Amino acid sequence: MVNQKLFKLRITGLSDVAQLSKHWATHIVSILNTNWAKKIEGVSLLGELLIPSPSPGLFLHRCYFDDVIPEDDLGLVPATLEDIQTILNFSETLTANDNLLVHCSAGISRSTAVACGILCQHGLSPQQALETVCLIRKRASPNAHIISLMDDALKLRGLLKHTYTTFEFW
């Protein structure tokens, strides 16, 4: 059973961000690829349409890391514990009146892992958090490295990692 005092949550990829940021979200965790971040340094029309910008009544946390694990060594940038801690600092004051949108490029891996951690931060067990994320995002496949970082940041002593490794997705 989901905590009735919990904020409302949506998880998406870039395709739905513009619409949800304008008409639904009060808070957004925007997880962007590092190569995407380089592309939007010079703001393009596409960037303006897809990537939310802060506005009155809309709180935004933007972070830049790729959908990899450190062992991949592909020249991409994995999330760090510092990245995760800043996300958790941003989300710690969410209330039942808030609408949280978490997005990455596809809404499948980084965003679902981050959402799991934020749900645990707000009192859900790792099992409840994973179930909730899978109800919201049917194709969820949380990034294992981010799950591990969330477990460490939230001091869950391996419970989120273990639940993740035994959880049956899809």
User: Domain containing 70 — which CATH number?
Assistant: 3.90.190.10
Instruction: Give the pLDDT confidence of 129-167 residue by residue, as tens digits.
Output: 999 999 999 999 999 999 999 999 999 999 999 999 999
CB atoms within 10 A of CB 42: 7
pTM for the model: 0.90
What pLDDT is recorded for position 153?
98
State how far the Cα of 75 lies from the Cα of 160, in Å rounded to an integer.
28
The residues facing 102 across adjacent strands are: 11, 29
Q: Using CB atoms within 10 A of its CB, is residue 38 exposed (0-12), middle (13-18) or buried (19+)?
A: exposed
In a domain, 3, yes or no: no
Residue-averaged pLDDT of the chain: 88
Say if 1 falls within a structural domain. Answer: no
Angle, alpha carbons 134-124-22 (nearest 5°): 60
The answer to whether position 124 is within a domain reads yes
pLDDT band at 37 (very low <50, low <70, confident <90, very high): low
Decide: residue 49, CB within 10 A, 0-12 exposed, 13-18 middle, 19+ buried. Answer: exposed
Q: What is the Cβ-side half-sphere exposure of residue 130, based on CA atoms within 13 angstroms?
A: 22
Helix ranges (DSSP H) in 33-170 = 34-39, 45-50, 81-91, 110-121, 126-136, 144-153, 159-166
Number of domains making up the chain? 1
Residue 144, classified by CB atoms within 10 Å of its CB into exposed (0-12), middle (13-18) or buried (19+), is: middle
Is there a domain that residue 30 lies in?
Answer: yes
The residue range of the domain holding 32 is 8-166
- The more confident residue out of 69 and 43 is 69
Quickly state the pLDDT bin for 70 (edges 50, 70, 90). Answer: confident
The predicted structure's pLDDT at residue 43: 39
In a domain, residue 61? The reply is yes
**Could you tell me if residue 2 is inside a domain?**
no
